[in-house]
Structure 1
Amino acid sequence: MTDFVTGFRARPRPDRTVAYLPDGGPAVVATHLELDRRARAVASWLAGSGMAGEPVLLLYPAGLDFLVAFLGCLYAGAVAVPAPLPLSGSSRVDRVDLLLEDSGARLVLTDEAHVAALADLSARTFDATASPDSWRPPDVDPRAVAYLQYTSGSTSRPRGVEVTHGGLTHNLEVFRRISGDVPVRRIGGWLPHHHDMGLVGLQLQALHAGADLVLLSPESVVARPIRWLRAISDHRVDWTVAPDFGYAWATRRIRDDELAGLDLSCLTMAVSGAEPIRISTLDAFVDRFAPVGFRRTALNPGYGLAESTLVVTCTARGRGPTVRTFTAASLAAGRVVPTPDAAGVPLVGCGEPGDMDVRIADPVTGAALDDGVIGEITVAGPSLAAGYHGDPAATRATFVTGPDGRLLRTGDLGFLLDGQLYVTGRLKELIIVRGRNLYPHDIEFAAREAHPDAGTGAAFGVRDADAGEHVVLVQEVRRASRADPREFADTVLDVVTRQVGVSVSIVVVRPGTVRRTTSGKVRRRHMRDLFLGGGLPALHSVLSPAVAAVVADREGKRV
């Protein structure tokens, strides 16, 4: 295999394994050499079916079959399209329909167990009689599209990011280098394979680094997060990846009696990314699991996105998180001022830019901004994707020509300080109230901390007729809560309003009302549309006069 595919086929090792740990059953294990042979068989069949250069939709449960099919697509020069298995609800079915239409895939692959269930999609398995020895490496251009990584749809309709063979290889090497001079031995985790962090940061990174891989299903870990840490302990995993939610979930849901026999001293890299990283989450994880060997220096906060294949920056192995505290007023004004004051706002550094060129720009003019000034994070480098599949307008708007070449406008806000990248929020989700910059995730975090029965929240801005912006918080109350919705709303509003310093409207809703993407991100714009469209069944609402007027105006227009 040519080096620009994954670096795996050039050196598949018979002494390295991939193990999938199903719930309640024996581990399914294959060596890298066996995976390679199975992938060559898939590639041989795909090439013989005329699928070189064509999209192939991959609908697989967690396990080794997906990895074989994905590698087979790369080996054949076909364009893999990872997608969630559409068996868990209408939202997943709708998403797969969108991906099938957008990608133009005329072949859908799945495992034997799901062929019948996916008959309406004409899904099939590959021909098991195909010979791996008949496969011949295709002449693949590094600029050719390797796979379509569909975005989560947290702010818009999912888009197919065209990740190239060259971009994939470069980003795998960028990620590998955060381990420093000590090669990674074993990578383990549970993130879904259709998520960029689960695909690149977990599965493909293990193959690229020549490391063992230990996989669990996302559903099993969400149900019992101790399975994640038990797998790390039992298999001596030294590298894992998860979003902030994963570390918070493990801290809250793992019981004291489940810690018996757990040893996390083997873990030297715990990468956190894919969503805002909170120092409170990291501190709580360290405090909870330090007694069983977890070290703070093992934490590796990072920043990345599918449009850059995955990683942009990440804290190097062994350094631990860099945390700085800033005045709230300076963050609201867009020019940060560090402070030792405990009342300041702590932010976690996401690592130093290395092989990727990271700059902060004015979102309107594109002009470069000084260190410590909040602006749009822009990225340049070989890991950048080719664009969005079938969407030239979005490609032109996101992948722009900068003074030094091609540049990615990430849509994320942040700043550089002393070499570290700090991320503050999403440009499209920023709420500006009387010249103050408010970040939705800060409001949501304050709400969760305000009441023990507070669940997931979604904060967004609503504009009135005079173009003034007002804060609305859709807040779930936990399922087992016996709190009166009115008293709950008053308590949350009191705390949140004092912390953010502006008037906040609240809509209290049942658990499960706040929509999330497939990777767990809150769909704030979608919640805003539901709120303005009258599609939120509320247990109780407290709306400011301005927001109530906006709602009344919308209702009048609908009538």
Structure 2
Amino acid sequence: MAPSYGLAENCTFVSTAWGPNISQAPTSRGLLPCARICSQLELGIEMIVVDPKTCEEVAAGEEGDIWIYSPSNANGYLDNRWLTNEVFLARPKRKGDWENGRFYLRTGDMGDMGVITKGIDKYLYITGRLKDIIRKRDHFVHPHYLETTAFMRCTQSLRAGCAAAFEADITRCNTNVIVVTAELKNFEHDYITAQDEERMKRICENIYVCIEKENGVAVGFVGLVKARCIPKTTSGKL
């Protein structure tokens, strides 16, 4: 098994950083690479990371939207011309791409090329989804980091892979706040005892404190629910 990257819009498989002549690859911020970037255009393929607002390539180590130029890119979405133009006909703001007619696929996946290079090669690291990021003032955070922190600090009380962090517009707070919802382990009954209530308070307080300390963001609300209450897709996504 090897970390790889793919999506339906590129006929499923895009890249991997591993191969017959690669026994190991460098990690970056605890992440394994899913692509080795080297002489891509010789193969008719190019992967770049761009600022989703300016469409300009970002520097190594900076996060951005992953764009792909490849003969494996699909032609578009059936009966949806607007979305096809938006996703499959992207062009970065750099010299030459407008003249050669090269179009890129906007993946909507966030990543960076890493600050680590090995020889002339670069490595691509997937960091999250563009539509899922939580924006806080002058920076953003990926929700899966908050979800992981919540679980790792409460492993005896929460179900693995059953937490969701997101931003919500709370009217009475007159602002957007971060909400963390998590499923409780071994809690199936429909009533709450005084002992349950005290236990839940301790779990919530632990999540508030740990996320602010480890991820640098303040959580506005924590919600604890019974097992199998958070809906998931058939592939296991929350």
> Please, what TM-score do these two structures have when normalized by structure 2?
0.78
Match of 2:216 in 1: 501
Contact 2:17–2:123 under 8 Å retained in 1: no
Contact 2:18–2:24 under 8 Å retained in 1: no
Question: Which digits, 9 at most, give the CA deviation of each residue in 1:369-425, with x for residues without a partner?
Answer: 222221110001111012112222211111114225121001111111331001111
How far apart, CA to CA, are the structure 2 residues paired with 1:441 and 1:310?
Answer: 23
- The one of 21, 26, 31 equivalent to 1:347 is 31
Contact 2:15–2:35 under 8 Å retained in 1: yes
How far apart, CA to CA, are the structure 1 residues paired with 2:124 and 2:139?
Answer: 22
Contact 1:433–1:470 under 8 Å retained in 2: no
The Cα of 1:320 is off from its aligned counterpart by 4.9
Q: How does 1:18-37 map to 2 (within 5 A)?
A: none
The Cα of 1:467 is off from its aligned counterpart by 8.6
The Cα of 1:322 is off from its aligned counterpart by 3.0
Match of 1:470 in 2: 177
Contact 1:301–1:321 under 8 Å retained in 2: no
Contact 2:108–2:131 under 8 Å retained in 1: yes
The Cα of 1:457 is off from its aligned counterpart by 0.5
State the SS of the aligned residue for 2:104: strand
TM-aligned CA distance change 1:425 to 1:467, over 3 Å: farther
Match of 1:443 in 2: 146
Contact 1:433–1:469 under 8 Å retained in 2: no
Larger RCO, structure (CA 8 Å, separation 6 or more): 2
Contact 1:321–1:349 under 8 Å retained in 2: no
Q: What amino acid maps onto 1:361 in structure 2? A: V
The Cα of 1:470 is off from its aligned counterpart by 2.2
How far apart, CA to CA, are the structure 1 residues paired with 2:174 and 2:134?
Answer: 12
Question: Which digits, 9 at most, give the CA deviation of each residue in 1:121-177, with x for residues without a partner?
Answer: xxxxxxxxxxxxxxxxxxxxxxxxxxxxxxxxxxxxxxxxxxxxxxxxxxxxxxxxx
How far apart, CA to CA, are the structure 1 residues paired with 2:217 and 2:59?
Answer: 29
* Corresponding position: 1:306 with 2:8: yes
Q: What amino acid maps onto 1:503 in structure 2? A: A
- The one of 143, 146, 165 equivalent to 1:459 is 165
TM-aligned CA distance change 1:448 to 1:322, over 3 Å: farther
* Corresponding position: 1:427 with 2:130: yes
Contact 2:149–2:211 under 8 Å retained in 1: yes
Q: Which protein is richer in helix relative to its size?
A: 1
TM-aligned CA distance change 1:501 to 1:443, over 3 Å: same
Q: How does 1:111-510 map to 2 (within 5 A)?
A: 270=1, 300-317=2-19, 319-320=22-23, 322-325=25-28, 345-353=29-37, 354=40, 355=43, 356-402=45-91, 403=97, 404-417=101-114, 418=117, 419-451=122-154, 452-455=156-159, 456-463=162-169, 469-479=176-186, 484-504=199-219, 505-510=221-226
How far apart, CA to CA, are the structure 2 residues paired with 1:357 and 1:490?
Answer: 46
* Aligned-pair Cα RMSD in Å: 2.3
* Corresponding position: 1:512 with 2:196: no
Q: What amino acid maps onto 2:140 in structure 1? A: N
State the SS of the aligned residue for 1:487: helix
How far apart, CA to CA, are the structure 1 residues paired with 2:12 and 2:144?
Answer: 22
Q: Which runs of 5+ in 1 are unaligned?
A: 1-269, 271-299, 326-344, 523-559
Report % sequence identity: 27
Q: Which protein is richer in strand relative to its size?
A: 2
How far apart, CA to CA, are the structure 1 residues paired with 2:89 and 2:27?
Answer: 32
How far apart, CA to CA, are the structure 2 residues paired with 1:508 and 1:323?
Answer: 38
Contact 1:321–1:348 under 8 Å retained in 2: no
Count of residue correspondences: 205
Contact 1:450–1:496 under 8 Å retained in 2: no
State the SS of the aligned residue for 1:516: coil
How far apart, CA to CA, are the structure 1 residues paired with 2:103 and 2:217?
Answer: 40
Greater shift, 475-484 or 444-453, is seen at 475-484
Contact 1:433–1:468 under 8 Å retained in 2: no
State the SS of the aligned residue for 2:89: strand
How far apart, CA to CA, are the structure 1 residues paired with 2:170 and 2:52?
Answer: 23
How far apart, CA to CA, are the structure 2 residues paired with 1:412 and 1:521?
Answer: 15
Q: Which runs of 5+ in 2 are unaligned?
A: 92-96, 189-194
Q: What amino acid maps onto 2:217 in structure 1? A: V
Contact 1:362–1:368 under 8 Å retained in 2: yes
Q: What amino acid maps onto 1:407 in structure 2? A: Y
Q: What amino acid maps onto 1:410 in structure 2? A: T
> Please, what TM-score do these two structures have when normalized by structure 1?
0.35
State the SS of the aligned residue for 1:457: strand
